[in-house]
Amino acid sequence: AQSVSQHNHHVILSEAASLELGCNYSYGGTVNLFWYVQYPGQHLQLLLKYFSGDPLVKGIKGFEAEFIKSKFSFNLRKPSVQWSDTAEYFCAVHNDYKLSFGAGTTVTVRA
Amino acid sequence: KAGVTQTPRYLIKTRGQQVTLSCSPISGHRSVSWYQQTPGQGLQFLFEYFSETQRNKGNFPGRFSGRQFSNSRSEMNVSTLELGDSALYLCASSRMTGASTDTQYFGPGTRLTVL
């Protein structure tokens, strides 16, 4: 069965620091990958997605992610975080009409 | 364009009761998926519907069921509620234009509390 692993449970950063969240998946076939974000009190929103093509994908709010097939990874990055980036971040793999999510990483940005 | 809407937003039930949750997808979206979100288990897939047909089901007991109507709206039902069913139930819709993958857009969820 496919699975998604997120390396960090909770990350605490100061504003302007760089952010990188790790995501690894276990699935041998073609994968479609997503990062979703859940801001406090809000619903899940799509940050970015990878279906095919350029392995470096850019999303909303300055986020980007790199798909490295050989490492089964899809890490999320942002060069300079803001207080408003405080949220929970979920990596997900789509297969067989369903999304399989990682456990999520809570990111707290201190002003 | 209106997003995915879910009703009710909050629900309190007691053990043994049953509950029905409703989801209206984004206009033009034909696929509806349901997920359960809990602090302990995270986000888990319940089922997916397309053109009134269930195409996949997650690892949940038979007490969890769903259906989709011809207008793509969907309902899920949980019978004989247990304390462990307390969760945020999320609905997501996607266009499913024929590609094997499409982006899922999530609703705000229904917060179910079982006492």
CB neighbours (10 Å) of residue A32? 18
Which of A96, A64, A92 has the alpha carbon at shortest distance from A80? Answer: A64
* Residues in chain A within 8 Å Cβ distance of B68: none
Which of A97, A107, A84 has the alpha carbon at shortest distance from A35? Answer: A107
Q: Is B42 on the interface with A (CB under 8 A)?
A: yes
Query: Which residue of chain B has the CA closest to A49?
Result: B103
Contact state of B106 with A36 under an 8 Å Cβ cutoff: yes
Which of B64, B67, B33 has the alpha carbon at shortest distance from B52? Answer: B67
Structure tokens at A19: 């952010």
Helix (H, G, I), strand (E, B) or coil at A71: helix
pLDDT given at position B101: 67
A45 contacts B106 by C-beta, under 8 angstroms: yes
Which of A69, A68, B39, B57 has the alpha carbon at shortest distance from A77? Answer: A68
> Cα separation of A15 and A85, whole Å?
9
* Residues in chain B within 8 Å Cβ distance of A103: 42
Instruction: Tell me the pLDDT of chain A (111 aa) as tens digits.
Output: 678 999 889 999 999 999 999 999 997 777 899 999 999 999 999 999 999 899 999 999 999 999 999 999 999 999 999 999 999 999 999 888 889 999 999 999 998
B75 CB-contact burial (10 Å; exposed 0-12 / middle 13-18 / buried 19+): middle
User: What is the DSSP-derived secondary structure letter of residue A16?
Assistant: T
Tens-digit pLDDT profile for residues B62-88: 999 999 999 999 999 999 999 999 999
